[in-house]
Structure 1
Amino acid sequence: MRSLVIDIGNTGSKYGVFENEILLTNGSFGNKGSIPQELLDQEFEHAIVASVAGKAHFLQAKLSVSGQFLELSAQTALPVSNLYKSPETLGADRKAGAVGAHYFFPGRNCLVIDAGTCITYDFLDSQGQYHGGGISPGLQMKYKALHNFTGRLPLVQQIDQNFSLIGQTTQESIISGVLAGTVAEVNGIIQNYSENASDLVVIVCGGDAAFFESNLKGRIFVIPELILIGLQRILAYNV
């Protein structure tokens, strides 16, 4: 079964082409309807679209899908139990991350950290029950907030693996404040979850995953395609 999964985020979209459970190829494109020609030239048996940026019906008319075209929603059946109190507000990417974690680490307590536009924290217990988590600003969002809500602070966008803790210029101080502060935040949250869930598996994905891989304490698993794989598992569960 050749299937297509698309994850439409706040600032861009990612896609993956699967043959059964095997990820054959993946890539990205903008959110302006510019679907890669590679996808337009293929025929798919089934497809799933997850969007945090609004409806994605325009994709269905452009793609060749012979079977089910599934748009992930609060009503979509999941291979995990969803205990979130407001499931209609739960981001599609957060659901997919939890399902992906369950696929890779069944029977384990999992904390998924998706480091993108926002940093999301999602907890799935060893019984396959998704509980929820947290949402905080991502690195670039913090940089933009410092620039937009002050009169003189410059816009900084650097994400340095080996940043200086003590900034000796305003730009260095912003970098230190954002990067060191966020690393401390993430380490602290991991510690809090570890104290409440034994044998915790920490999984990091998202555009800034490489930065956290180098700077977080303890053992973590970086799985860049976690969301795509989670979406493929949801699609397989529904066809």
Structure 2
Amino acid sequence: MNVVIDSGNTFSKVGWFENEKLLRYTTRLEFAEMIAEVRSQRPEHVLFSSVSTTVEEFVHALDLPSNILSLTPDTPLPVTKNYDTPHTLGADRIAAATGANYLYPQENVLVIDMGTCITYDLVDQMAVFQGGLISPGVKMRFKAMHTFTKRLPLVEEEKNPAFIGKSTRSAISSGVMNGVQAEMEGIIARYRHSYPDLRVVLCGGDAPFFESSLKPPIFAVPELVLIGLNRILTYNVSLQ
């Protein structure tokens, strides 16, 4: 069994795979909970990807004889990076692109990952990661308006708010939610101008707010990052 860990600043997500098949996954785990989950299964191979914890800390806490791989900028990948600063490229971005290439081989795929930031990344039909865009995420936009003004309230996400807000709160909600949707539609249209056969894949925590309102065809793959991490893990195991 393979286990892949996507460890963020606060929480971790863990996926269990049998070869390429995702058996189950768990989200919003704190570090101690994540360690306990992984220990309970005694996996054969582990891939650890983190923006906050070193692999040494993880290995020490796990204390298992598993074959543990850490995802770094130098880790061999089944896709090629055409990126000017590959050592600054986020692991979640390259993992999602790898997952998209695995699910839709020999296709031009735009991955939209809606997390703290919204990232738009293109992996082309030749399995080359071409880069993309990074813009503020939904929660970041709400928090920015509240933080950088004296009187605007902090508003939470809602699905399909009225386009014309009739109060300050509803106007903020409309501005952020409809603004993000318009941004995504505009960026998708720009990419499709260059890649008419483009497939668009949506993932990330805020994706459910938009997946039904974007113009089709849009494919929602919630666990795309985990799928990509496992693809990277199996690729590296095959090189051993």
Q: Displacement of 1:225 after TM fit? A: 0.7
How far off is 1:54 after superposition? 5.0
For 1:65 and 1:190, the matched residues in 2 are separated by: 44
**For the residues of structure 2 that align with 1:193 and 1:124, how far apart are their CA atoms?**
12
Instruction: Please name the residue that 1:153 is paired with.
Output: 152
TM-score, scaled to structure 1: 0.94
> Which of 145, 164, 167 matches 2:165?
167
Q: 1:221 matched to which residue of 2?
A: 219
User: 1:187 matched to which residue of 2?
Assistant: 185
Q: Taking structure 1 as reference, are residues 53 and 216 closer, same or farther at Cα in structure 2, changes over 3 Å only?
A: farther
C-alpha distance in structure 2 between counterparts of 1:20 and 1:206, whole Å? 23
* Structure-2 separation of matches of 1:198 and 1:48: 35
Kept in 1, the 8 Å contact 2:111–2:200? The answer is: yes
Shift of 1:57: 3.0
Q: Is the 8 A contact 2:46 2:68 kept in 1?
A: yes
Confirm or deny: 8 A CA contact 1:113 1:120 kept in the other structure. Answer: yes
**Cα gap change, 1:52 to 1:215, in 2 (>3 Å):** farther
Hey, what does 1:114 align to over in structure 2? 113
Alignment of 1:56-205 (within 5 A): 56-63=55-62, 65-157=64-156, 159-205=157-203
C-alpha distance in structure 2 between counterparts of 1:75 and 1:36, whole Å: 25
Question: Alpha-carbon deviations, 1:50-99, whole Å to 9, x = none?
Answer: 12335343222232543421111110000011111101000000000111
- Structure 2 unaligned segments of length 5 or more: list them: none
Picking from 223, 235, 238, the partner of 2:236 is 238
In the alignment, which residue of structure 2 is the partner of 1:43? 42
SS in 2 for 1:15: strand
- Name the amino acid aligned to 2:21: I
Q: Alignment identity in percent?
A: 49
Q: Using the alignment, how far apart are the partners of 2:64 and 2:31 within structure 1? A: 21
**Could you tell me how far apart the structure 2 residues matched to 1:196 and 1:67 are?**
45
Cα deviation, residue 11, structure 1: 4.5
Looking at structure 2, the residues matched to 28 and 56 of structure 1 have their Cα atoms a distance apart, in angstroms, of 20
Report the alpha carbon displacement of residue 38 of structure 1 after superposing the two structures with TM. 3.1
The separation in 2 between residues aligned to 1:45 and 1:65, in whole angstroms, is: 10
Of residues 98-107 and 48-57 in structure 1, the stretch that sits farther from structure 2 once superposed is: 48-57
The Cα RMSD (Å) is 1.5
Shift of 1:207: 0.5
**What pairs up with 1:18-57 in 2 under 5 angstroms?**
18-35=17-34, 37-53=36-52, 55-57=54-56
Q: Secondary structure at the match of 1:213?
A: coil
Partner Cα separation in structure 2 for residue 28 and residue 40 of structure 1: 16
What CA distance in whole angstroms lies between the structure 1 residues aligned with 2:69 and 2:98? 16
More moved, 51-60 vs 87-96: 51-60
Structure 1 residues 19 and 66: CA distance shift in structure 2, 3 A = farther
**Paired residues, number:** 237
Structure 1: state its 5+ residue gaps.
Answer: none
Give the deviation of 1:189 after TM superposition: 0.4
**1:129-176 Cα deviation digits (max 9, x unpaired):** 11100111110011110111111111111x222211111111101100
